[in-house]
């Protein structure tokens, strides 16, 4: 009996051993599967079938990591890389009633990159959407931002049914993304708190993003690495931040030289505070270096320029400088 | 496989008199002459506007002399449409493709094929696959990861691009129709007929267009634009038919973005003129778009719209 029970125990142990091995096999095999390892996380944020009721995924999700984003969205990849891109997943869904939509989830390098990409993608016409995080509903698509992630959900028409579906998907995805506080870049935080009239802010991390706001030059004549564009009803402000005052001055000189040779600009006037000139659409531009920043006013009414820039200097930049004492002026 | 200039000339000769795919390269860019030779009417840019995009396409081509002016009887036609993504305003409209295929068939083409490097699901999702099935046209998808499916060609006039891998399939046709959708491009503000040719070159080649250090290199946009212009010195479409009906003007080329609806189909042989016209549809100027000015510098066409004849009609 004893022998029998020992045999039984050994058999049980064997079964348990093989069961554990069987359970572990997928874990060991996973790194060699077709799916890139670090994309696994991002796939998990796609809405699962059981939460979608009448919606079904169309085909397999497409993923990209790092430079492979060029394979997935071609030239569209550049701007994500400028902000700092890690992973993406794209998946289409179809409702039984014929409605369909696309989901794009981008994991960026950090929250500031994610906010940057979100702000870049969001237009001036969008409306705030109720998604428990900053979300904007446009005619036929919805963008939201949470932590390191930017999510875009695209419908194919402007109907109420599409808008309802966009919100439904956004809420499901938002609930799956890691918890995070709205950690705006300091420049954006200051603009949002001090300028209630601002319609839209875009965080900039390079010349591509800037070039898409206003075409100063195809070359990065401002040497921009960090900045913001703030849109108001009748003008736009740009703020570029540098490591120190000397760097800001040097890039200001560089930009001034390039702009004065550009056929699209005319009427240059120099003053102690900066330069004033006009573009072909008769918009006026006033560019002024201040401490470790370059400030730009763009608008029809140039009489407002000085006031606006003064307010910017006082309300935003002094606040920024005071609260970021580690930065070098 | 790298082919010699001599081999290339032989190959071009075997493609027949109608193939301009490589003539530019062999003879040092004959684009201006070919434009004159092929044009049966004195119009450089033909524009048709209206709600019926199929009818617009037909009218735009008819005003250039009809598809028979470009597609000889019995010829094999390659079409390069843009099925990049089914996001609204980001892909060539199926109705435009359908009309073009029908016109090629009516002109007596023996074979009409869409050539692409983008996956089948893009063709399905954009509705263009159904058009091909309906109209009895073909779809050839080249595996972009397979180098053996591309030929490496020198770019003698290239300033930034010295050689380019072009899909071998491309050389199996007599006529080439470039059929992009014009739209915004976050990298260079504009995409049209010339940028669309990146759909023929390999991923490896295209990757060199986007400089590795482009985030820090102030000349990166310039480099991309130069490469696009350079690529166009070795490939010349027989006709360009551009979807300018509804397209994104922000967040391009993938979208989603703001859409405008000029409801126009634009056709022409001179790519530079056509692109120069298309960019005006959303307030840009050809002389501010580097790929257009650089192509003009290469002598590929006329970017000054005051110097070209434009015929615009409402359908």
Residue A197's contacts (CB-CB under 8 Å, 6 or more residues apart) are: A232, A233
Average pLDDT, chain A: 85
Contact assignment for B254 to A73 by CB distance below 8 Å: yes
Is residue B215 within 8 angstroms of chain A, CB to CB? Answer: yes
pLDDT at residue A323 greater than cutoff 70:
no
pLDDT at residue A46 greater than cutoff 60:
yes
Assigned token pair, A159: 């109907």
pLDDT at residue A140 greater than cutoff 90:
yes
Q: How far is CA B115 from CA A11, A308, B137, in A?
A: 61, 54, 11
Interface of B with A in 128-167 (CB under 8 A): 144
pLDDT at residue A111 greater than cutoff 80:
yes
pLDDT at residue B76 greater than cutoff 70:
yes
pLDDT at residue B254 greater than cutoff 60:
yes
Residues pairing with A127 in the sheet: A137
Contact assignment for B189 to A140 by CB distance below 8 Å: no
* Cβ neighbours around B131 below 10 Å, total: 24
pLDDT at residue A314 greater than cutoff 70:
yes
Helix (H), strand (E) counts: chain B: 12, 12
Residues pairing with A234 in the sheet: none
Residue A312 binned pLDDT confidence (cut-offs 50, 70, 90): confident
pLDDT of B186 reads: 85
Assigned token pair, A35: 């799916």
Which residue from B95, B75, B85 is spatially nearest to B239, judged by alpha carbons? Answer: B75
pLDDT at residue A325 greater than cutoff 70:
no
**Domain range B5-314, its CATH number among 3.40.50.300, 3.40.50.11440, 3.40.50.620, 3.40.640.10:** 3.40.50.11440
Percent of chain B with pLDDT over 70: 84
User: What domains, with CATH codes, occur in chain A?
Assistant: 39-176 (3.40.1000.70), 186-323 (3.40.1000)
What is the complex's ipTM, to 2 decimals? 0.81
Residue A72 binned pLDDT confidence (cut-offs 50, 70, 90): confident
Contact assignment for A264 to B288 by CB distance below 8 Å: yes
In angstroms, the CA B196 to CA B203 distance is 13
Closest-CA distance, B148 to chain A, in angstroms, reads 18
Higher pLDDT among residues B32 and B55, named by residue: B55
B222 contact residues in A (CB cutoff 8 A): 218-219
Is residue A221 within 8 angstroms of chain B, CB to CB? Answer: yes
Assigned token pair, B174: 């007599």
Q: How far is CA B83 from CA A74, A299, B95, B126, B181, in A?
A: 12, 38, 13, 6, 9
pLDDT of A123 reads: 86
pLDDT of B219 reads: 60
| B183-204: pLDDT as tens digits | 999 877 899 999 999 999 998 8
Higher pLDDT among residues B204 and A141, named by residue: A141
Is residue A158 within 8 angstroms of chain B, CB to CB? Answer: no
Q: Which DSSP symbol is given to B92?
A: -
| A279-301: pLDDT as tens digits | 988 899 999 999 999 999 999 88
Is residue A123 within 8 angstroms of chain B, CB to CB? Answer: yes
pLDDT at residue A61 greater than cutoff 90:
yes
pLDDT at residue A57 greater than cutoff 80:
yes
Is residue A257 within 8 angstroms of chain B, CB to CB? Answer: no
Per-residue pLDDT averaged across A70-89, rounded? 89
Residues pairing with B20 in the sheet: none
Contact assignment for B86 to A92 by CB distance below 8 Å: yes
| B278-315: pLDDT as tens digits | 999 999 999 989 999 999 999 999 999 999 999 999 99
Residue A12 binned pLDDT confidence (cut-offs 50, 70, 90): low
In angstroms, the CA B188 to CA A203 distance is 19
- Rounded to the nearest angstrom, the gap between the alpha carbon of residue A116 and the centroid of all alpha carbons in its chain is 4
pLDDT of A329 reads: 34
Which of A141-145, B100-104, B262-266, B284-288 shows the lowest per-residue confidence on average (mean pLDDT)? B284-288
A67 contact residues in B (CB cutoff 8 A): 207
Contact assignment for A123 to B258 by CB distance below 8 Å: yes
For chain B, the domains span 5-314
Average pLDDT, chain B: 87
Higher pLDDT among residues A26 and A305, named by residue: A305
This prediction's pTM:
0.84
Residue B125 binned pLDDT confidence (cut-offs 50, 70, 90): very high
In angstroms, the CA B114 to CA B130 distance is 12
Per-residue pLDDT averaged across A181-205, rounded? 90
Element (H, E) at A191: helix A186-194
pLDDT of B217 reads: 58
φ, ψ at A127 (rounded to 5°)? -115, 150
Residues pairing with B81 in the sheet: B179
Q: Please identify which residue in the block is written with the tokens 């044009």.
A: B39
Assigned token pair, A104: 């794009």
Residue B146's contacts (CB-CB under 8 Å, 6 or more residues apart) are: none
- Closest CB from A71, A120, A218 relative to B203: A71
Is residue B203 within 8 angstroms of chain A, CB to CB? Answer: yes
pLDDT of A32 reads: 37
Per-residue pLDDT averaged across A226-246, rounded? 95
pLDDT of A7 reads: 61
Residue B11 binned pLDDT confidence (cut-offs 50, 70, 90): very low
pLDDT at residue B27 greater than cutoff 80:
no
Closest-CA distance, B282 to chain A, in angstroms, reads 14
pLDDT of A26 reads: 44
A120 contact residues in B (CB cutoff 8 A): 251
pLDDT at residue B145 greater than cutoff 90:
no
Which residue from B191, B192, B180 is spatially nearest to B80, judged by alpha carbons? Answer: B180
């Amino acid at each position: 009996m004893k022998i029998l029970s020992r045999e039984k125990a050994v058999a049980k142990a064997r079964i348990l051993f093989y069961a554990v091995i069987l359970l572990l096999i997928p874990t060991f095999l996973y790194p060699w599967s077709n799916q890139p390892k670090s994309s696994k996380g991002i796939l998990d944020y796609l809405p699962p079938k059981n939460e979608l009721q009448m919606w079904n995924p169309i085909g397999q999700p497409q993923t990209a990591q790092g430079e492979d984003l060029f394979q997935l969205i071609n030239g569209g990849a550049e701007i994500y890389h400028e902000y700092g891109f890690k992973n993406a997943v794209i998946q289409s869904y179809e409702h039984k009633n014929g409605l369909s939509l696309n989901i794009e989830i981008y994991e960026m390098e950090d929250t500031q990159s994610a906010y940057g990409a979100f702000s870049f993608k969001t237009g001036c016409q969008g409306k705030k959407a109720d998604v428990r995080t900053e979300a904007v509903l446009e005619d036929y698509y919805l963008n939201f931002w949470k932590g390191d992630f930017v999510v875009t959900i695209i419908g194919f028409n402007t109907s109420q049914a599409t808008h309802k579906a966009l919100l439904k998907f956004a809420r499901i995805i938002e609930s799956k993304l890691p918890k995070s506080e709205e950690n705006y870049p300091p420049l954006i935080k200051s603009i949002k708190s001090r300028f209630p009239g601002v319609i839209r802010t875009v965080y900039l991390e390079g010349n591509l993003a800037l070039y898409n706001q206003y075409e100063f030059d195809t070359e990065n004549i401002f040497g921009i690495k960090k900045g913001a564009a703030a849109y108001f009803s009748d003008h736009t402000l740009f703020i570029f931040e540098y490591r120190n005052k000397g760097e800001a001055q040097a890039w200001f000189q560089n930009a001034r030289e390039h702009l004065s040779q550009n056929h699209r600009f005319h009427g240059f006037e120099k003053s102690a505070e900066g330069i004033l000139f006009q573009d072909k659409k008769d918009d006026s531009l006033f560019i002024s270096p201040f401490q470790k920043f370059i400030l730009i006013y763009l608008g029809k009414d140039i009489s407002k320029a000085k006031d606006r820039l003064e307010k910017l200097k006082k309300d935003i930049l002094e606040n920024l400088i005071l609260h970021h004492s580690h930065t070098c002026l | 496989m790298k082919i010699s200039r001599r081999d290339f000339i032989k190959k071009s000769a075997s493609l027949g008199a109608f193939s301009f795919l490589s003539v530019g390269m062999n003879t040092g860019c004959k684009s201006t002459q070919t434009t004159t030779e092929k044009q049966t009417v004195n119009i450089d840019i033909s524009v048709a506007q209206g709600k019926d995009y199929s009818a617009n396409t037909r009218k735009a081509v008819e005003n250039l002399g009809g598809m028979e002016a470009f597609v000889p009887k019995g010829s094999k036609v390659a079409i390069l449409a843009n099925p990049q993504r089914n996001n609204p305003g980001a892909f060539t409209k199926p109705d435009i493709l359908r009309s073009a295929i029908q016109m090629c068939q009516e002109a007596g083409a023996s074979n009409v094929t869409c050539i692409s490097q983008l996956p089948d699901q893009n063709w399905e999702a954009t509705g263009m696959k159904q058009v091909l099935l309906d109209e009895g046209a073909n779809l050839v998808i080249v595996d972009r990861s397979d180098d053996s499916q591309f030929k490496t060609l020198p770019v003698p006039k290239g300033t930034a691009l010295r050689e380019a891998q072009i899909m071998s399939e491309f050389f199996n046709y007599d006529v080439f129709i470039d059929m992009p959708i014009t739209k915004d491009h976050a990298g260079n503000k504009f995409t049209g007929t010339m940028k669309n040719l990146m759909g023929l070159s390999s991923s490896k080649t295209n990757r060199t267009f986007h400089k590795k250090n482009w985030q820090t290199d102030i000349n990166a946009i310039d480099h991309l634009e130069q490469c696009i212009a350079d690529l166009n010195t070795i490939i010349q479409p027989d006709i360009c038919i551009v979807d300018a009906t509804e397209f994104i003007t922000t967040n391009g080329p993938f979208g989603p973005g703001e859409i405008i609806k000029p409801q126009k189909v634009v056709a022409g042989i001179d790519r530079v003129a056509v692109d120069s016209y298309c960019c005006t549809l959303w307030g840009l100027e050809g002389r501010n778009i580097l790929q257009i000015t650089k192509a003009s510098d290469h002598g590929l066409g006329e970017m000054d719209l005051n110097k070209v004849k434009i015929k615009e009609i409402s359908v």
